[in-house]
Structure 1
Amino acid sequence: MTGRVQRLTAVTRPKIEFLFDGQPLSGQQGDTILTAILSNRGALRAAEFGPEQRAGFCLMGACQDCWVWREEGARLRACSTQLHAGLRLRSKAPDGWLS
């Protein structure tokens, strides 16, 4: 599956490059991390307790469904964090990560 999000307007904003799970992706200036990822992929991450894929739930920073991690370990809410160039993100917590 390709991206879950389809842009209907504002499709010519400047492109922003970032990495997600080692894969180069791009979003647009003004995107949240979640919007940028879902514009490129069908899901944000695998569910913890089953085979399903997760793509965010509340989209306003109140749940825990859209957590992503910077490669160095900091946790971010993908739905409410603005994308910026050079981010190196991962869908799973780094080894040894504690909340």
Structure 2
Amino acid sequence: MRLPEKGLTRGPRVNILVDGEPASAYVGESVAAALMADGAMRTRTTAGGEPRGLFCGMGVCFDCLVEVDGVPNTRACVTWVREGMRIDRQDGPGTAPS
């Protein structure tokens, strides 16, 4: 559930897919913000199965890696949402699309 919007000014609403499920976000939000607003605290798991999520929030630590539109190892905290974006939580090291 999203936080109440009182006092917030957001961009236009966009439709995204998170792990194949429809979700909404707002232009100007990062992928990480959209995931957290949708209730997802885990963005990926390590090769050893440990959960990871948003840590530094500024693109330095690489804990928030997700797959965006088929591109693995995308930093969720510095990637802006857009209409129709497909976001998948990543398991282990991402592999480049062939």
TM-score, with normalisation over the residues of structure 1? 0.74
Partner of 2:56: 58
- Contact 2:18–2:86 (Cα < 8 Å) also in 1: yes
Q: Work out the CA distance in 1 between the residues paired with 2:35 and 2:41.
A: 8
Q: After superposition, give the CA deviation of every residue in 1:33-68 in whole Å (9 maximum; x if it has no partner).
A: 1001100114133543456x4330000100011111
Structure 1 residues 77-86 or 66-75, which shifts more? 66-75
Partner of 2:89: 91
- Contact 2:67–2:74 (Cα < 8 Å) also in 1: yes
Q: Work out the CA distance in 2 between the residues paired with 1:45 and 1:29.
A: 20
Q: Work out the CA distance in 1 between the residues paired with 2:60 and 2:93.
A: 25
Partner of 1:15: 13
Q: Work out the CA distance in 2 between the residues paired with 1:62 and 1:31.
A: 18
Identical residues among aligned pairs (%): 27
Structure 1 residues 11-20 or 25-34, which shifts more? 11-20
Q: 1:76 aligns with which of 49, 70, 74?
A: 74
Give the SS at the match of 1:37.
helix
TM-score, with normalisation over the residues of structure 2? 0.74
Give the SS at the match of 1:36.
helix
- Contact 1:68–1:91 (Cα < 8 Å) also in 2: yes
Q: Give aligned pairs, total.
A: 94
Tell me, which stretches of 5 or more residues in structure 2 are unaligned? none
RMSD across aligned positions (CA): 2.9
